[in-house]
Amino acid sequence: MGELYVICQNGEIDDGQASGFSLMRIESTGEPKPWHILITRKGNQFFGFENACPHMGERLDANPGEFLDEEGNFLTCGHHGAQFDLDTGECFIGPCQGKKLTPITIVVDDGDVCLTGVELAEEDEFDDSEGAPEVMITSD
C-alpha cells in the first residue's frame, strides 16, 4: 500500500450518503491538476470514485454536493440522469448503462477515511501568484 492521504473522518459521511472532495493530483508530467472525487458509505464500508460521469466526463453534481437521487438510494448524474450503484459505481440507468465510475482506493485507518494509490500535491507546492488554492482538500 502506498502513502495514505486523510480525506475525512468516518463519522463525516453517514450511512447511505456521499460526499464530494476537490483535490490536487500530481500528473505523470509532475504538474498538479484539479481532481474531483466522491466517497460513499454503505454500513461500515466506504467506496471512492472519481467524480466524472462515464457518459461525457462531467461531474455528477450539477448542483454542488448533490449526488444522490431523491430517495437517496443511488448516485445520480445531475446532467444526464444516469444512476449508479453506491458501492460498485456501476451505471444501471441512463446513457452510460453498463459502464462504471472510475474507482479510487479508499482505506479506513483509525477512524480516518484515507485515499491511497495516487500522489497528491502538498499545499506548499502551489504558486499562490497563479491563483492556486490555499487548501488542497475541500468538501463540496
Q: pTM, whole model, 2 decimals?
A: 0.82
Whole-angstrom Cα distance, residue 118 to residue 100? 19
Could you state, in order of their start, the residue ranges of all structural domains in the chain?
5-139
pLDDT at 80: 87
CATH of 5-139, one of 1.10.3720.10, 1.10.10.10, 2.102.10.10, 3.40.50.2300: 2.102.10.10
pLDDT under 70: residue ranges of the chain: 1, 64-65, 123-140
78, 61 contact by CB (below 8 A): yes
Angle value at C-alpha 104, between 81 and 41, nearest 5 degrees: 65
Q: Distance between CA 84 and CA 91 in Å, rounded?
A: 4
Alpha-carbon separation of residue 113 from 8, 22, 41 (angstroms): 5, 15, 11
